[in-house]
């Protein structure tokens, strides 16, 4: 493709080059853009586990934790460093040890590769990493950070996105005692939308507690906690009376028929989270859910998240972009595609007290982008 870097930046600034052109652009084009025809040195991949401490004990309907061990990847080639992050999740049988092992096993995929051929690398990673999708996410995020840095521009600009299209992000309130929930809701005062974790036998108490402190919009996530469609129906009817905007994963992922029944009966959107990991899960969900919650840790990174966005849009489903408990590395990565989505839930780095990195910031629910290349992240690996 014959186009100068200046012309490209002009086009992306106009939003002309966007998602639809990505596959065509992905190979030689980016190499030309960065002033390279190939990458020469061998890539070096380093892996490190870092303990992220939670500000409050984090409780969902299925488990509780005070810290998370996330796995970080440093991908270095030709003097440029890309950083990635994996947030292993017990729901998907993931842990830091297995994730680290999968990353080490997959380093052969990068050997003798031109890293600008990142769609080919994605295909190979899909073949190689069959569990621990967060391991794939860490490598994909590091790869795309490297590509963005090599081109000298933030990924959202490379993809022709306008940060002002990014929806305000919600702030999550985990399950807790009445007093702590009140305290958390007060601490979340600057955030205009709250996401409340439910799926317990004391959901009404939790929501009434939140409502005793604030009347701001709330969304609700049951994390598969309601085990029958009748219970879910009754709970959602009550939640609607308390001004809830939508409900995430009311019942276990495998209860598809029951969720389809529920969707016909209730008047607020039902969003799939645990029921959807990657694009191949989406078509069957269209009959039971109004939307999907995309997370980079489930999809295995940004490139698969793109594919999911395209598929959900084609099926006229709503798109939410969520996260696990993550540092600013993975949150900044998700922010690079956030202008595409309907709902953002990118608060993982706000829930920890020792974020080792600094990148896209969340202020009062607004994502504050910077102009640094790649993910826009800085910090000690
Ligand atoms: Mg969820």
Give pLDDT tens digits for 297-351: 999 999 999 999 999 999 999 999 999 999 999 999 999 999 999 999 999 999 9
Distance from Cα 248 to the centre of ligand 1, integer Å: 6
Distance from Cα 223 to the centre of ligand 1, integer Å: 6
Q: How many CB atoms lie within 10 A of CB 293?
A: 24
- Distance (Å, whole) CA 92 – CA 132: 8
pLDDT at 29 exceeding the cut of 90? no
The predicted pLDDT at position 22 comes to: 54
Q: Average pLDDT for residues 3-12, to the nearest whole number?
A: 53
Q: Are 322 and 293 in contact (CB under 8 A)?
A: yes
What sign does the dihedral 376-96-74-124 (CA atoms) show? negative
Distance from Cα 352 to the centre of ligand 1, integer Å: 18
Distance from Cα 13 to the centre of ligand 1, integer Å: 34
Distance from Cα 136 to the centre of ligand 1, integer Å: 20
Distance from Cα 220 to the centre of ligand 1, integer Å: 9
Distance from Cα 221 to the centre of ligand 1, integer Å: 6
- Six token digits for residue 114: 């031109």
pLDDT at 16 exceeding the cut of 50? no
Please state, in angstroms and as integers, the Cα–Cα distance from residue 341 to each residue in 166, 248, 336, 361, 375, following that order: 7, 16, 11, 18, 18
Distance from Cα 251 to the centre of ligand 1, integer Å: 11
Distance from Cα 8 to the centre of ligand 1, integer Å: 37
The predicted pLDDT at position 100 comes to: 98
The predicted pLDDT at position 94 comes to: 97
The predicted pLDDT at position 20 comes to: 46
Distance from Cα 253 to the centre of ligand 1, integer Å: 11
Mean pLDDT, the chain, integer:
91
Distance from Cα 111 to the centre of ligand 1, integer Å: 36
Distance from Cα 126 to the centre of ligand 1, integer Å: 24
Task: Measure the CA angle with vertex 208, ends 363 and 274; round to 5°.
Answer: 65
Q: Are 154 and 369 in contact (CB under 8 A)?
A: yes
Distance from Cα 291 to the centre of ligand 1, integer Å: 12
Task: Measure the CA angle with vertex 200, ends 88 and 283; round to 5°.
Answer: 55
Distance from Cα 227 to the centre of ligand 1, integer Å: 16
DSSP lists the bridge partners of residue 47 as 73
Question: 5: pLDDT confidence band, cut at 50, 70 and 90?
Answer: low
Distance from Cα 9 to the centre of ligand 1, integer Å: 36
Please state, in angstroms and as integers, the Cα–Cα distance from residue 259 to each residue in 195, 217, 218, 237, 288, following that order: 20, 24, 21, 14, 6
pLDDT at 367 exceeding the cut of 50? yes
Question: 21: pLDDT confidence band, cut at 50, 70 and 90?
Answer: very low
> 23-157 adopts what CATH topology?
Enolase-like; domain 1 (3.30.390)
Distance from Cα 245 to the centre of ligand 1, integer Å: 15
- How is the chain split into domains, by residue range? 23-157, 162-379
Determine which of 16-20, 42-46, 208-212 has the lowest per-residue pLDDT on average.
16-20
Q: Closest by alpha carbon to 134, among 318, 323, 287, 344?
A: 323
Distance from Cα 129 to the centre of ligand 1, integer Å: 24
pLDDT at 123 exceeding the cut of 90? yes
Q: What is the DSSP string of 184-229?
A: HHHHTTT-S-EEEE--STTHHHHHHHHHHH--S-EEEE-TT---SH
Length reported for the chain: 381
- Distance (Å, whole) CA 126 – CA 279: 12
Distance from Cα 210 to the centre of ligand 1, integer Å: 18
For residue 226, the Cα-to-chain-centroid distance in whole angstroms is: 24
Distance from Cα 226 to the centre of ligand 1, integer Å: 13
- Which homologous superfamily is 162-379 in? Enolase-like C-terminal domain (3.20.20.120)
Distance from Cα 30 to the centre of ligand 1, integer Å: 35
Distance from Cα 274 to the centre of ligand 1, integer Å: 7
Q: What tens digit of pLDDT does each residue of 53-108 get? A: 999 888 877 788 999 999 999 999 999 999 999 999 999 999 999 999 999 999 99
Distance from Cα 345 to the centre of ligand 1, integer Å: 9
Q: Tokens 């992050």 identify what position?
A: 85
For residue 251, the Cα-to-chain-centroid distance in whole angstroms is: 21
Give the helix/strand (H/E) hosting 143: helix 133-151
Question: 366: pLDDT confidence band, cut at 50, 70 and 90?
Answer: very high
pLDDT at 282 exceeding the cut of 80? yes
Distance from Cα 148 to the centre of ligand 1, integer Å: 29
Distance from Cα 167 to the centre of ligand 1, integer Å: 18
Distance from Cα 367 to the centre of ligand 1, integer Å: 20
pLDDT at 381 exceeding the cut of 70? yes
Q: Are 214 and 182 in contact (CB under 8 A)?
A: no
Distance from Cα 321 to the centre of ligand 1, integer Å: 10
Q: 190, exposed or middle or buried, with CB in 10 Å at 0-12, 13-18, 19+?
A: exposed
């Amino acid at each position: 493709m014959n186009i100068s870097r200046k012309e490209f930046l002009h086009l992306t600034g106009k939003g002309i080059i966007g998602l639809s052109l990505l596959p065509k652009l992905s190979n030689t084009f980016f190499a030309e853009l960065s002033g390279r025809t190939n990458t020469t040195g061998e890539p070096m991949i380093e892996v490190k586990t870092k303990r992220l401490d939670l500000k409050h004990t984090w409780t969902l309907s299925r488990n509780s934790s005070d810290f998370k061990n996330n796995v970080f990847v440093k991908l270095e080639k030709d003097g440029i460093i890309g950083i990635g992050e994996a947030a292993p999740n017990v729901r998907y049988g993931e842990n830091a040890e297995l994730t680290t092992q999968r990353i080490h096993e997959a380093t052969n995929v990068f050997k003798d590769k031109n890293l600008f051929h990142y769609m080919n690398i994605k295909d190979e990673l899909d073949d190689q990493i069959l569990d621990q999708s967060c391991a794939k996410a860490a490598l994909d995020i590091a790869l795309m950070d490297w590509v963005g840095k090599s081109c000298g521009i933030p990924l959202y600009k490379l993809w022709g996105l306008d940060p002002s299209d990014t929806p305000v992000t919600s702030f999550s309130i985990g399950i807790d005692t009445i007093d702590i929930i009140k305290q958390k809701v007060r601490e979340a005062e600057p955030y205009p939308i709250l996401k409340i974790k439910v799926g317990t036998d004391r959901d009404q108490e939790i929501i009434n507690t939140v409502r005793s402190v604030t009347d701001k919009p709330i969304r609700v996530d049951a994390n598969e906690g309601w085990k029958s469609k009748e219970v879910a129906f009754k709970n959602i009817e009550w939640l609607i009376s308390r001004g809830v905007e939508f409900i995430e994963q009311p019942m276990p992922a495998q209860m598809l028929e029951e969720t389809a029944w529920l969707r016909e009966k209730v008047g607020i959107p039902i969003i799939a989270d645990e029921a959807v990991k990657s694009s191949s899960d989406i078509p069957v969900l269209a009959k039971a859910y109004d939307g999907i919650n995309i997370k980079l840790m489930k999809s295995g990174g940004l490139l698969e998240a793109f594919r999911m966005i395209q598929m959900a849009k084609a099926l006229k489903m709503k798109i939410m972009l969520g996260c696990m408990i993550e540092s600013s590395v993975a949150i900044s990565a998700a922010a690079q595609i956030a202008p595409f989505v309907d709902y953002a839930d990118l608060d993982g780095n706000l829930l920890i007290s020792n974020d080792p990195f600094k990148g896209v910031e969340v202020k009062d629910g607004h994502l504050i982008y910077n102009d640094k290349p790649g993910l826009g992240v800085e910090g000690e690996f």
